[in-house]
């Protein structure tokens, strides 16, 4: 027998918790067996077992007495003195790798639950060493040490890498989700607390930090003016946007982003500017030149974590059109500021096409302002319509004095109306005014002369005219009435500096019959009023003809006198026609003298006509 016994060694079984190692080996035949304990270098530490053993499998337990690494050696000698030996690998009942937590961190290290980009943090770690499985706990702690949330609680894990997400809530993983925004935490730097325990009771802890910013950034924005006028005149050519951005700088050190956009009425973006700011107040001037119309300035902001502030939208108007000033009246003009009670002051009335700040001043011939009557007064848009009188419009009175209180000297001046709209557009209009302190304004009534009414008698639909003259320029057109009805101005002609002829008319319609009064009223430049009355007759009844008679009937060849009567005076000679035997009528020409009988009540007219040469028969007059 030259074959040594074949020793089979099973893998060692290490019980780290009991700190024991179990050796299992097999021998094929009766042998003398010795099991010894060696150190890592192979030096004998002690013999654990020795004796004769029959063929079979045997177990040997070794309880650790120190932390050093060791190895088993098994020697077998059979009866023929053949010998073999085998040695296990080096072992230790104490784990070779120390239990540890590595790479415990938050990604990102700073986040905001309100962010659209970084609304949560990924909490990651790695476990190694020790004896698995491990009991793991991961919690988020407030700066005070109080537990905010337990991400992992007594969970069994093996060696490896793990990660969990935290969105900044205070609920535990085992609780159901709460409504959005519920139990959110405040801004702070929080502690990620992790502890593990391996199978043999080894424990280790680790900590890391994560910053949570729950506060949203705030944004405020205003406009210096809600109107701009980019016309290059230096007044409101730019739109000035004032804004303020704020966020918790204790936790966010990077600047915020502010975006300014200009949109037209169709909500199309026509301008964009992106700015980077730390907390504070700022302003931005936009010098764009859009067409006139309505626009919007939209200001948005977000902090470095991507959390957006509330959007601010501001309306404004682009207006490059200057307001239109129309001077309606300057009266009286000229005027005399000497205090005599007659034309001591004058006034100007005007309209403006839009709401403005209006100023009114008096300038002399050299263009120098001698009197400021109105400065920067808010005037609403105005216009004259059908039933609005000039008195309802803006007006300013000048009593004829300069800024020092002195009465202005005689001469020509100008009312100057300046209007600045709220977009900064400015316009100006002027109107002349004359100061004449030497004018001969008296209380004498100007006479109304040369009155002539035609016709003196008027029937229905007849046009009646009245002509008259005045010796001076009037303040306004005369007022003429025919009975109760106003006359129509037909003409005004200046004959000389002391004679002005007027003509007014009226078509007779509803006037009653009889004498009708024509009233005329005039007002001169000094305000003196004159009036006069004249009359004409309205006669709508046809003249009555009666008592026709003849000097002979039957009539002979020669002269025949035809007589008749009327009840009122006639305006023209009568026409007499004679028709004989139903033939052609002949007009008898009357003479030019009328013989009026019985005054104007009954008038008898004698008409003479030659009827010689006509045939005998019946004639109709």
Give the distance from CA 94 to its chain's centroid.
Answer: 79
Predicted local confidence at residue 617, as pLDDT: 65
* pTM for the model: 0.53
DSSP label of 68: -
The reply to whether 8-87 and 325-429 are identical in fold is yes
Please state, in angstroms and rounded to a whole number, the distance separating the CA atoms of residues 264 and 246: 28
Beta bridge partners of 284: 241
Protein fold of 100-212: Immunoglobulin-like (2.60.40)
Give the distance from CA 613 to its chain's centroid.
Answer: 102
Predicted local confidence at residue 595, as pLDDT: 46
Residue 563 reports pLDDT greater than 90: no
Predicted local confidence at residue 441, as pLDDT: 52
- For domain 449-538, the CATH superfamily is Immunoglobulins (2.60.40.10)
User: How would you class 93 by CB atoms within 10 Å of its CB: exposed for 0-12, middle for 13-18, buried for 19 or more?
Assistant: buried
3-state class (DSSP) for residue 392: helix
Minimum mean pLDDT range among 250-259, 368-377, 468-477, 513-522:
468-477
Nearest of 157, 163, 151 to residue 122 by alpha carbon:
163
Mean pLDDT of the chain: 85
Residues 6+ apart with CB under 8 A from 450: 467, 468, 469, 501
Predicted local confidence at residue 206, as pLDDT: 95
Mean pLDDT of 413-436: 91
CB burial string 295-330: b at 16+ within 10 A, e below: bebbbbbbbbbebbbeebebebebbbebbebeebeb
pLDDT tens, position by position, 210-229:
999 999 999 999 999 888 88
DSSP string, 229-288: --SSSSSS-SEEEEEEEE--TTT--SPEEEEEEEEETT--EEEEEEEEE-SEEEEEEE--
Predicted local confidence at residue 382, as pLDDT: 63
pLDDT tens, position by position, 533-543:
999 999 888 87
Predicted local confidence at residue 571, as pLDDT: 65
Please state, in angstroms and rounded to a whole number, the distance separating the CA atoms of residues 580 and 562: 16
Protein fold of 8-87: Immunoglobulin-like (2.60.40)
Predicted local confidence at residue 566, as pLDDT: 75
| Domain locations in the chain as residue ranges | 8-87, 100-212, 218-318, 325-429, 449-538, 545-620
The CATH number of the domain covering residues in 325-429? 2.60.40.4070
Nearest of 330, 340, 342 to residue 373 by alpha carbon:
330
Say what percent of the chain tops pLDDT 70: 86
Residue 511 reports pLDDT greater than 50: yes
Please state, in angstroms and rounded to a whole number, the distance separating the CA atoms of residues 52 and 293: 113
Please state, in angstroms and rounded to a whole number, the distance separating the CA atoms of residues 167 and 162: 17
Contact 607, 559 (CB under 8 A): no
Residue 557 reports pLDDT greater than 70: no
Strand pairing category for 56-63 and 20-27: antiparallel
Residue 567 reports pLDDT greater than 80: no
Residue 387 reports pLDDT greater than 50: no
CATH class entry, domain 218-318:
mainly beta
Residue 608 reports pLDDT greater than 50: no
Residue 357 reports pLDDT greater than 60: yes
Banded pLDDT at 527 (limits 50, 70, 90): low
Residue 174 reports pLDDT greater than 50: no
């Amino acid at each position: 027998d030259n074959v040594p016994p074949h020793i089979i060694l099973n893998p060692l079984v290490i019980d780290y918790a009991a700190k024991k190692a179990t050796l299992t080996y097999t021998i094929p035949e009766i042998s003398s067996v010795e099991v010894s304990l060696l150190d890592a270098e192979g030096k004998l530490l002690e013999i654990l077992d020795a004796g004769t053993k029959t063929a079979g499998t045997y177990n040997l337990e070794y309880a650790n007495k120190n932390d050093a690494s060791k190895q088993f050696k098994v020697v077998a000698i059979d009866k023929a003195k053949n010998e073999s030996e085998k040695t296990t690998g080096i072992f230790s009942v104490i784990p070779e790798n120390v239990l540890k937590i590595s790479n415990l961190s938050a990604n990102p290290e700073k986040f905001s639950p309100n962010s659209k980009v970084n609304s949560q943090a990924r909490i990651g770690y790695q476990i190694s060493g020790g004896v698995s499985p491990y009991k793991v706990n991961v919690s988020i702690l407030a700066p005070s040490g109080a537990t905010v949330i337990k991400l992992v609680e007594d969970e069994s894990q093996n060696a490896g890498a793990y990660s969990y997400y935290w969105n900044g809530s205070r609920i535990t993983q085992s609780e159901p989700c709460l409504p959005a925004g519920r139990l959110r935490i405040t801004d702070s730097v929080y502690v990620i607390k992790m502890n593990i325990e391996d199978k043999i009771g080894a424990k280790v802890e680790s900590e890391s930090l994560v910053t949570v910013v729950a506060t949203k950034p705030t944004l405020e924005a205003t406009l210096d003016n809600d109107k701009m006028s980019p016309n290059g005149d230096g007044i409101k050519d730019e739109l000035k946007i004032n804004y303020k951005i704020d966020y918790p700088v204790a936790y966010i050190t990077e600047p915020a982003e502010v975006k300014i956009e200009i949109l037209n009425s169709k909500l199309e973006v026509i301008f964009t500017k992106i700015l980077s700011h730390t907390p504070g107040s700022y302003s931005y001037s936009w010098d764009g030149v859009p067409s006139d119309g309505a626009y919007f300035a939209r200001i948005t902001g977000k902090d470095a974590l991507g959390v957006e502030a509330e959007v601010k939208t501001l309306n404004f108007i682009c207006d490059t059109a200057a307001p239109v000033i129309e001077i309606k009246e300057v009266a009286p003009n000229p005027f005399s500021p000497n205090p005599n009670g007659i034309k001591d002051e004058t006034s100007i009335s005007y309209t403006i096409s839009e709401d403005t700040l209006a100023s009114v001043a008096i300038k002399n011939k050299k263009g120098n302002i001698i009197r400021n009557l109105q400065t920067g007064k808010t005037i609403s848009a105005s216009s004259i319509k059908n039933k609005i009188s000039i008195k309802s419009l803006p007006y300013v009175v000048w009593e004829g004095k300069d800024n020092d209180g002195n009465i202005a000297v005689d001469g020509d001046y100008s009312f100057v109306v300046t209007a600045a709209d709220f977009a900064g557009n400015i316009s100006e209009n002027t109107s002349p005014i004359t100061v004449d302190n030497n004018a001969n304004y008296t209380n004498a009534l100007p006479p109304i002369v040369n009155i002539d009414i035609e016709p003196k008698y008027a029937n229905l639909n007849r046009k009646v005219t009245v002509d008259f003259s005045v010796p001076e320029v009037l303040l306004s057109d005369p007022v003429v009435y025919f009975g109760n009805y106003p006359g129509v101005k037909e003409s005004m002609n200046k004959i000389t500096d002391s004679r002005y002829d007027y003509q007014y008319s009226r078509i007779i319609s509803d006037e009653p019959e009889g004498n009708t009064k024509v009233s005329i009223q005039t007002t001169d430049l000094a305000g003196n009023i004159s009036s006069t009355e004249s009359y004409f007759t309205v006669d709508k009844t046809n003249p009555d003809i009666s008592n026709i008679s003849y000097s002979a009937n039957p009539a002979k060849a020669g002269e025949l006198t035809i007589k008749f009567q009327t009840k009122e005076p006639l305006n023209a000679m009568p026409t007499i026609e004679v028709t004989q035997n139903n033939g052609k009528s002949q007009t008898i020409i009357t003479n030019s003298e009328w013989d009026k009988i019985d005054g104007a009540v009954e008038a008898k007219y004698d008409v003479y006509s030659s009827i010689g040469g006509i045939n005998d028969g019946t004639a109709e007059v």
